[in-house]
């Protein structure tokens, strides 16, 4: 279980940060019926806001493979019908931002945080930390993709107004079906198979 975030004013000023440029190409795999610039606030995902908080969270990955394993990494075999219900979108930030860096080793000693923040099952704890970081002025959270045990792939949870917010994340292409080359790479590198 995650420790509670500090509640005193300014207690998160020393939380590690990471600059994120506006020209980095991010990827997102999402439902066909949902816009890629969607900031979730229903509490179903790791860094969603707790009830009553006024923000939403848009989840993107540093490349399409990261987006795929974040979406489907819990499954050893993914039914083709699930893949066909999703699309791949490319996005960029509208401006450079400063985000909380969940990969910094100082988190252990300074805040009692471990990889459980981005890989554990305490979603309520993760959401409390997301709310605290949002209130402290961070634009989002940089973290490793949970299902990449090698630790090379990263993801970004961006904070913003809830719902469809095309000014907060910029789609740089139309959503596309998930390409076969990406499915093949996920099978080769992660052993995730697509089944009929």
How do residues 121-161 score in pLDDT, each as one tens digit? 999 999 999 999 999 999 999 999 999 999 899 999 999 99
Q: What is the pTM of this model?
A: 0.94
The residue count for the chain: 196
Lowest-confidence segment of 7-11, 13-17, 63-67, 173-177 by average pLDDT: 7-11
Q: What burial letters (b/e) apply to 162-180, b meaning 16+ CB within 10 Å? A: beebeebbbeeeebeebee
Whether 159 is covered by a domain: the verdict is yes
Whether 155 is covered by a domain: the verdict is yes
Count of C-beta atoms within a 10 Å radius of residue 155: 26
Element containing residue 39 per DSSP (H, E): strand 38-39
Using CA atoms, how far apart are residues 20 and 162, in angstroms rounded to an integer?
Answer: 21
Whether 161 is covered by a domain: the verdict is yes
Q: Which domain holds residue 156?
A: 35-80+98-168+177-195
Using CA atoms, how far apart are residues 73 and 89, in angstroms rounded to an integer?
Answer: 18
**Is 135 strand, coil or helix?**
helix
Residue 196 has pLDDT above 90, yes or no: no
Whether 10 is covered by a domain: the verdict is no
Number of domains in the chain: 1
Whether 54 is covered by a domain: the verdict is yes
pLDDT, tens digit, 9 for 90 and up, residues 34-52: 999 999 999 999 999 999 9
């Amino acid at each position: 279980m995650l420790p509670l975030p500090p509640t005193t004013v300014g207690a998160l000023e020393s939380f590690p940060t990471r600059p994120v440029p506006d020209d980095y190409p991010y990827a997102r795999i999402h439902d066909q019926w949902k816009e890629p610039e969607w900031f979730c606030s229903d509490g179903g995902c790791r860094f969603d806001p707790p009830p009553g908080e006024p923000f939403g969270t848009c989840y993107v990955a540093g490349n399409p493979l990261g987006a795929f394993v974040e979406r489907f990494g819990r499954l050893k075999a993914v039914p083709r019908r699930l893949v066909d219900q999703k699309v791949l979108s490319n996005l960029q930030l509208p401006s450079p931002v400063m985000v909380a860096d969940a990969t910094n080793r100082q988190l252990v000693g300074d805040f009692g945080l471990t990889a459980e923040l981005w890989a554990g099952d305490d979603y309520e704890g993760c959401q409390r930390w997301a709310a605290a970081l949002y209130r402290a002025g961070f634009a989002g959270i940089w973290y490793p993709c949970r299902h990449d045990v090698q630790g090379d792939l990263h993801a970004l949870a961006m904070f913003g107004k809830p719902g469809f917010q095309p000014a907060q994340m910029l789609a740089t292409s139309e959503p596309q079906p998930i390409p076969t080359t990406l499915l093949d790479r996920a099978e080769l590198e992660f052993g995730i198979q697509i089944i009929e």
